[in-house]
Amino acid sequence: MKSVLIIGAGQFGTHIAKRMEELRCEVMAVDINEDCINEIMPYVTNAKIGDGTSEAFLRNLGINDYDVCFVTLGRHFQSSLEATSLLSELGAKKVISRATNDVQMKFLLRNGADEVVYPEMQTARRIATKYASDNILDFFPLEKDYYIYELKVPKAWHGRSIVQIDARKRFNINILTIKRRGEVLVPRCWFPQRKQ
Please give the model's pTM, rounded to 2 decimal places: 0.75
Q: What is the pLDDT of residues 6-43, one digit of tens each?
A: 999 999 999 999 999 999 999 999 999 999 999 999 99
Please report the pLDDT score of residue 45 as a whole number. 96
Please report the pLDDT score of residue 189 as a whole number. 55
In order, the DSSP letters of the chain are: --EEEEE--SHHHHHHHHHHHHTT-EEEEEES-HHHHHHHGGG-SEEEE--TT-HHHHHHTTGGG-SEEEE--TT-HHHHHHHHHHHHHTT-S-EEEE-SSHHHHHHHHHTT-SEEE-HHHHHHHHHHHHTT-TTEEEEEEEETTEEEEEEPPPGGGTT--HHHHTHHHHHS-----EEETTEEE--STTSPPPP-
